[in-house]
Amino acid sequence: MQLFPCPFCGPREESEFQYGGEAGNLRPDRDVTAERWADYLHMRDNPKGPTREIWVHMTCGEFFAMSRDSVNHKVSGSSVLGDVEHGR
Amino acid sequence: MTRHYSALSLFKEGIAGQTGWVKAWRSPDPKPRYDAIIIGGGGHGLATAYYLAKNHGVTNVALLEKGWIGGGNTGRNTTVVRSNYFYPESAAIYGLAHSLYKTLSKDLNYNVMLSQRGILTLAHSEAAMETAARSVNAIQVNGIDCELFSLEDVRRVVPIYNFSPDARYPVYGGTWQPSGGTARHDAVAWGYARAASRLGVDIIQNCEITDFIIENGRCRGVVTSRGAIRAERTGMAVAGHSSVLAAKAGFRLPVNSYALQACVSEPVKPIVDTVVISPDTSVYVSQSDKGELVIGGALDRIPSYGQRGNLPVLEGVIAGMLEMFPIFGQLKMMRQWAGIVDVVPDSSPIIGESPLPGLFLNCGWGTGGFKAIPAGGTLLAHLLATGQHHDVSRPFDLDRFASGRLIDEAAGSGIAH
Amino acid sequence: MSASRLAAGGSDIDRDRPLTFTFDGRRVEGFAGDTIASALLAGGQTVVGRSFKYHRPRGIWGSGVEEPNALVDVEGAAGRVPNARATTVQAADGITVRSVNASPTAENDRNAVLDRFARFLPAAFYYKTFMWPDWHLFEPRIRAMAGLGVVDSDWQPRKVSDQVNHHCDVLVVGAGPAGLAAAASAAAAGHSVVLADDGAHPGGSLRHRAGEVDGVEGKAWVEVTVAGLKGAGQLVLSDTTAFGLYDHNLVALNQRHADGRPDTLWRVRPRRIVLATGAIERPVPFANNDLPGILSADAALSYLRRHGVLVGREVVVATNNDSAYEPALALAAAGASVTVVDCRRDGGAQAKTRIRVLAGRTVAAARGRSAVQGVLLDEGTTLAADCVLISGGWTPTVHLFSQAKGKLAWSDQLAAFIPGEAIGEIAVAGAVAGTVSLSDALASGAAAPGDFGSSSPAPRGTGTEATLGVVSLWPKPKARGRVWVDYQSDVTARDVELAARENFVSVEHLKRYTTLGMATDQGKTSNLNGLALLADITGRGIPDVGTTTYRPPFTPVPFASLAGSRRGSMHVPVRRLPLEANHRRAGGVFQEYGGWLRPAYYGGGEADASIQEEARRARQSVALFDGSTLGKIEVIGPRAAEFVDFIYYNTMSTLKPGHCRYGFMLSENGVVFDDGVLVRLDEHRFIVSCSSSHVAAVHARLEEWRQDRFGRDAVYIHNATAQYATLTVSGPNARQVMEALDLGVALDDASLPHMAVAAGRFAGDEVRIARVSFTGDRSYEISIRADRAEALWARMQQEGRAFDAVLLGLESLMILRAEKGYIVIGKDTDGTTMPHDLGVAGPRTKRADEFVGRRSLFTEAANGTDRNRLVGLAVREGEAPLATGAHGVEKRDGRLRSIGFVTSSYQSPALGRPVALALIERGPARHGETIDVQHLGVVRQATIVAPCALDPEGRRLHA
């Protein structure tokens, strides 16, 4: 059971959270090419190692950004969504 | 020297003290150049090597494995083999795999212990029975054996299920693929390795890819921990690492990597004769020939490359398993593990040339890779040998994500694996 | 073997409390405090089980969790436990113990003959044969032979296992000297401590090995220390195995209870972890080293001192280290004749009297058939023996450290892997860290808590200190005879050689190919010997060979512990209606729908007939329906209108306050995710009424888009679903019933037209009335505070009586809506269905603004003409309904193919014929066409029609 730091509630168990996608995957403007849309919709960096992701703490309903390592699962921090992380 | 496997050779070696057996596969040093390179020594990579040599006569092939062959998901799965798929495209690919599995032991001269014990997917409500009927009809139209089971049928096949009137997950019936079952996962890897090696393929372990050799926009080989190796065509079948290699090659894939966990009980005398899947608990159970209950569940919920089990997901899986089979409350879990699976939005594989010409993909099998090994190998071998899609692999090209022609089996199977 | 109980001694047993049980039908006597193993030994039971593969006779090897041989099925008051480890399960009066993998008994096993064919059955032989004619011919017999214990198929679940979450400053695993020192140090520093030990009593080696701590006899120091910890309120858990060390330092422990309660799962989250897990004695390789009567020297000492059992009278001790001498001397003192065969030329220098030492000698082979009778030394001498104790050195119990991804380091001095560089807040202490002497163990323990420890001096060993002086004594290639490496899996040194010859030289390949280390003991005694042999064969150093991956659990864990209370109705609990009791009184028959328990139909009659009758009466006069599960999510704020425009496929901002509109929500991939009615209460306030089973998911998506795109100040979202009950009046006489309810709302069509909303009052409470319909008849949905719904429902039934009102279950509602061609998302749509497939193409072509999923509606696939689209299907007069799930089929190029499927199909009582909805390829363009429909191989014909079969003009909505 991992502990994730909700910026609003503090550390909570992983089962209270849901993954919301890679940070910085900004929604493109309308009428983009099919390839660009597919890129937004489907293509992922899926990094092995340090990663920055959007998560939602389901018990408070807030989305936030979290930095962690996808291999050793160490969490290095979390923050309220800034402009850069907006995007799913 | 004994090379052929049979009851007779085993007997002769028994007399001789088992001293005549030779290496199951050779471990040569890599050459600087091959006709084709296969990255990944799991089932799919090894099968690709074998079919390249057997179907296409391409034997000057290097198979490069970072660790030891069969050490990734091939050696970590729950060994289920089935082909009961909803969409014709899926039925074609898994049907191809299934038909090759049926003769694989003889083809490879290696007993992969294909055990066609049948696969039962339960339906826990009237609505689920309707969905089951939809699946069964689709699968039958696809020309694959599948039956709609009534409650009585389920009672006959798994009498130890929880049929109590107040069961949390009552059974209304289910779908049954009689030809489904399990195969011995390690044997599939080793059998392909042995057969490919005999046909001349170089299987090179402990050889990690550090980079691709890209010239004039084409992939012309790889740089490895054991030196540069060149070839005009390179295939990759590296489940759990597809995005990592894609990044080295300069493109992204529609892949998220997650841990998929499984566990086994201590071995007990035969008690479950088939593979039982409960869509509502996401749990499936079978019993290995060693007597261990093999238990799997849904994916972890946190993207991860950590190849290890955890507690919360395990607890959920076990709780679900005990709702299905309360009598297993007397048993103990013996071993828990995880593999990293590459999950694609439509849970169907990606097969075809990558955005880097000369590099061909076989990835994204998610939780369903083991059952597809012979097909994945056949199709990637076809691509490497001809540069062209096999008819069966065409729908699974990476281009489907832009065209929207996804092949999402979620409708066809209660739990995709 | 002639093990026996001595007349006195045994610190663990209470000779005043005798007990008896049976083993393989034979009566066994013991005392309270005995393990099953110690009682079996005391009773002279030499053969206690049969090995997995060859059915070799096997005896007790160890005295703890490492036991590879003594697995038994135990039948006690609490039911059966298959594959119990006899060395860790307490004996109890009246239990029935059976050996596993033996028939009829361990001593006389009819499959023992298999061992004679062992030469033809080497490691992995099964991959080389059974292929012709077919594996399926052989498999059933092999399967029947496999497995160890027997599952009791009449077993009944007992009380559920407790699961405890616990936080502490320091968790110490292992209550031997190091663990106790660590716990005492952390406690003295004022920190909260959990001390867990898998034995029945704390103390570890101090319970049976000599030692003095701070001038006090070891056992007395243990008692004082434990009492001190307990007195300070610290948690000391015995019979508790730490089996897993997971992410973020979560340690999972399984606690056994002697009183028959099911085991308890502890999830402990310490700030610091001290692993004082000790070490496990290794076997010594020689031929037939698996014979019953050959056991761990340390175990023999433990049985002597803790249970008063002398394991043999004529004892040979085979060793490569000093630790075997204490057992040798103790057994000699207890009356055994003891010869130590020490492979070291200078071995046994410290042994003074009573024992014979053969230094520089090794055992080449054990003699005997079903029990050891003697040994053959390397120089050819034969020694008679009824028991052989072996001590091949100590393997640190690094499992938890390795589970935490700690790297191991090879120690030549100890001939073993020990934990390498420390990781995070995980410390190791005592034998697992490689200490040998008591003083070193205590010192490393006291230091292990680090910042959580006290500065007071560590306890000191004051008696004779243990030494090890181990030299390696690994299995050798080409050794004569069958040298057993893994007892339970029946792996010999030759099997390891065979695997290496066949190129299975990776340690993981070795494990999988030979099954070395894959048995229930997970190779606790066998792994290192196997690795060392592989290293020798392949010319590598042991550290280069490495170890296999250590995975949880350290010892097998009951499934029941892991499941805990999540059983039956507590496993993913269903949601319940506020009026469930009322529906039950009215004869409601409940089923689960999308996580909700709802009335399927009412009345005790036959289901189909009841459902038909409800549907029929609903069209005649009036029907009452509890739709409380319907989502009610409020969207409020200055940009609420803009927000719902973005969320919905349909333009919603043009909706006038007091009105509602039906629409779709799409996923970003363009697929219809949910449908429902959006209510606009005022300029900045909407209510999203979503499908019952989608409420949580819709709420989550609304929040996501709100936070991602609109911001906290712009929109506020509140899920009020559970706060309101929604009760529906539907039918030609619905308005009359509504009038009678007297809700203070003008019900004429001008004031409250179809798709309008009004506020009223019932018994002082505000109610919201929405004129929306899922039946196709004039309908009113009344939403009221959930806790006040009962009176309203009673009143509705009361007023409905005059109109022969019928209660609708969900099943009859399904018929009514299907007659109208109204869809249910997830039933009449699938994961590919887009809005234009459902005949709602307008927004796709007309909307100029952006909304969720828009771009995906214009991919090549979305633009395709071959899409499955919603239609109705009609069958010939007099025919039965089509099967839901039947597929439309056609032949193309000689092959059968699906052209879609039936999603809903019912007998319509109003129409007197079946109605069906289906998703059919190019459906709407094929109205009037007759297609083949196949269900379970049977083909029927159906004609494609419009989805709406009843009142296509919609007159009934206003009737």
> What is the secondary structure of C4-35 as a DSSP string?
EE-SS--TT-EEEEEEEEEETTEEEEEEET-B
Which residues are within 8 A (CB) of B417 and not within 5 positions of it... i.e. 6 or more apart? B78, B80, B260, B284, B296, B366, B367, B368
Number of domains present in the structure of chain A: 1
The half-sphere exposure of B194 on its side-chain side, counting CA atoms within 13 A, is 26
**Cβ neighbours of C398 (radius 10 Å):** 24
Summarised one tens digit per residue, pLDDT across range B8-43 is 999 999 999 999 999 999 999 999 999 999 999 999
Sign of CA dihedral C860, C866, C867, C871: positive
Q: Report the pLDDT value the prediction gives residue B414, as an integer from 0 to 100.
A: 36
Which residue is listed with tokens 């090894």?
Answer: B46
Percent of chain C having pLDDT more than 90? 96
Antiparallel, parallel or unpaired: β C96-99 and C14-23: parallel
CA distances from B191 to B196, B384, B401, C543, C918 (A): 8, 21, 35, 29, 47
Torsion of Cα atoms, B95 then B101 then B107 then B112, to 10°: 170
Task: Using an 8 Å CB-CB cutoff, list chain B residues near C506.
Answer: 67-68, 71, 205
| Cα C635 from Cα C654, distance rounded (Å) | 16
Helix axes B185-198, B373-386, angle to 10 degrees: 30
Q: Report the pLDDT value the prediction gives residue B411, as an integer from 0 to 100.
A: 55
Strand partners, C132: none
Question: Which residues 16-75 in chain A show a CB within 8 A of chain B?
Answer: 18-19, 34-35, 37-39, 41-49, 51, 53, 70-73
Summarised one tens digit per residue, pLDDT across range B294-353 is 999 999 999 999 999 999 999 999 999 999 999 999 999 999 999 999 999 999 999 999
DSSP string, C690-732: --GGGHHHHHHHHHHHIIIII-TTT-EEEE-GGGEEEEEEEST
| Cα C639 from Cα C662, distance rounded (Å) | 20
| Cα A55 from Cα A2, distance rounded (Å) | 14
- Chains with 3 or more CB pairs closer than 8 angstroms to C? A, B
Q: Report the pLDDT value the prediction gives residue B417, as an integer from 0 to 100.
A: 34
Q: In this model, does residue C353 exceed pLDDT 80? A: no
Residue C541 region, left (φ>0) first, then alpha (ψ -120 to 50), else beta?
A: beta
DSSP string, C145-197: H--SB---TT----SPPPEEEEEEEEEEE--SHHHHHHHHHHHHTT--EEEE-
Summarised one tens digit per residue, pLDDT across range C198-246 is 999 999 999 999 999 999 999 999 999 999 999 999 999 999 999 999 9
**Pick from B149, B96, B101: which is nearest to B276 by CA?**
B149
Residue type (1 letter), B48: T
Q: Is residue A68 part of a domain?
A: yes
**Pick from C941, C929, C847: which is nearest to C902 by CA?**
C941
Q: Report the pLDDT value the prediction gives residue B188, as an integer from 0 to 100.
A: 98
Q: Report the pLDDT value the prediction gives residue C1, as an integer from 0 to 100.
A: 66
| CB contact (8 A) between residue C247 and residue A73 | yes
Cβ atoms of C830 and B374 closer than 8 Å: no
* Predicted TM-score of the model (pTM): 0.96
Among chain A residues, CA nearest to C860: A34
Torsion of Cα atoms, C903 then B416 then B40 then B107, to 10°: -80
Q: Is residue A14 part of a domain?
A: yes
Give me the mean pLDDT over the A33-50 stretch.
97
Cβ atoms of B307 and B322 closer than 8 Å: no
Instruction: Enter the DSSP assignment of B303.
Output: B
Summarised one tens digit per residue, pLDDT across range C805-864 is 999 999 999 999 999 999 999 999 999 999 999 999 999 999 999 999 999 999 999 999
**Pick from C272, C186, C165: which is nearest to C229 by CA?**
C186
Q: Report the pLDDT value the prediction gives residue B412, as an integer from 0 to 100.
A: 47
| Cα B369 from Cα C376, distance rounded (Å) | 53
Percent of chain B having pLDDT more than 90? 97
Residue type (1 letter), C403: Q
Strand partners, C937: none
Q: Report the pLDDT value the prediction gives residue A29, as an integer from 0 to 100.
A: 84
Q: Where residue B1 falls among pLDDT bands split at 50, 70, 90?
A: confident
Give me the mean pLDDT over the C732-746 stretch.
97
Distance from CA of A31 to the nearest CA of B (A): 14
Give me the mean pLDDT over the C61-84 stretch.
95
Q: In this model, does residue B415 exceed pLDDT 80? A: no
Torsion of Cα atoms, C635 then C661 then C697 then C769, to 10°: 70
| Secondary structure percentages of chain B, helix, strand, coil, to 5 | 35, 25, 40
As for the ipTM of the complex, it is 0.97
Residue type (1 letter), C728: T
Helix/strand/coil for C545: helix
Task: Determine which of C140-154, C279-293, C341-355, C406-420 has the lowest per-residue pLDDT on average.
Answer: C341-355
Q: Where residue A83 falls among pLDDT bands split at 50, 70, 90?
A: low
Q: In this model, does residue A87 exceed pLDDT 50? A: no
A12 touches chain C (CB under 8 A): no
**Pick from C622, C605, C595, C591: which is nearest to C811 by CA?**
C591
Question: Which residues 777-836 in chain C show a CB within 8 A of chain B?
Answer: 827, 830-832
Nearest to A44 among B243, B306, B404 (CB): B243
Q: Report the pLDDT value the prediction gives residue A88, as an integer from 0 to 100.
A: 39
Compute CA C676 distance to the chain's CA centroid, rounded to the nearest angstrom. 38
Which residues are within 8 A (CB) of C835 and not within 5 positions of it... i.e. 6 or more apart? C649, C664, C666, C672, C841, C843, C844, C857
B149 touches chain C (CB under 8 A): no
**Distance between the two ends of chain A, CA-based, in angstroms?**
25
Nearest to A44 among B254, B402, B403 (CB): B254
Domain, as residue range, for A9: 3-80
**Distance between the two ends of chain B, CA-based, in angstroms?**
41
Compute CA C526 distance to the chain's CA centroid, rounded to the nearest angstrom. 28
Q: Is residue A58 part of a domain?
A: yes
Q: Is residue A85 part of a domain?
A: no
Task: Using an 8 Å CB-CB cutoff, list chain B residues near A51.
Answer: 303
Summarised one tens digit per residue, pLDDT across range B189-239 is 999 999 999 999 999 999 999 999 999 999 999 999 999 999 999 999 999
Give me the mean pLDDT over the C509-538 stretch.
96
CA distances from C576 to B114, C4, C519, C591 (A): 46, 63, 46, 11
Summarised one tens digit per residue, pLDDT across range C708-733 is 899 888 999 999 999 999 999 999 99
- Chains with 3 or more CB pairs closer than 8 angstroms to A? B, C
Nearest to A73 among B244, B306, B403 (CB): B306
Give me the mean pLDDT over the C15-29 stretch.
97
CA distances from C710 to A81, C176, C641, C665 (A): 12, 60, 11, 17
Q: Is residue A88 part of a domain?
A: no
Give the domains, in start order, of chain B with CATH numbers. 22-109+185-254+346-403 (3.50.50.60), 119-182+256-343 (3.30.9.10)
Q: Report the pLDDT value the prediction gives residue B413, as an integer from 0 to 100.
A: 42
| CB contact (8 A) between residue B24 and residue C504 | yes
| CB contact (8 A) between residue A43 and residue B253 | yes
Summarised one tens digit per residue, pLDDT across range C382-398 is 999 999 999 999 999 99
| Cα C578 from Cα C628, distance rounded (Å) | 8
Question: Which residues 316-345 in chain B show a CB within 8 A of chain C?
Answer: 316, 318-323, 326-337, 345
Q: Is residue A87 part of a domain?
A: no
Residue C154 region, left (φ>0) first, then alpha (ψ -120 to 50), else beta?
A: alpha
| Cα C460 from Cα C129, distance rounded (Å) | 61
B151's tokens? 């409650």
Q: CATH no. for residue A71?
A: 3.30.2270.10
Nearest to C506 among B68, B88, B114 (CB): B68
Cβ atoms of B279 and B415 closer than 8 Å: yes
User: Residue C924: is it exposed, middle or buried by C-beta count within 10 angstroms (0-12/13-18/19+)?
Assistant: middle
Q: What are phi and psi of C712, to 5 degrees?
A: -65, -35
Distance from CA of C115 to the nearest CA of B (A): 13
Give me the mean pLDDT over the C128-146 stretch.
94
Give me the mean pLDDT over the B163-178 stretch.
96
Q: What is the mean pLDDT of chain A?
A: 92
Q: What is the mean pLDDT of chain C?
A: 96
| Cα C76 from Cα C92, distance rounded (Å) | 8
Helix intervals (H) in C820-899: 842-846
Give me the mean pLDDT over the C612-632 stretch.
97
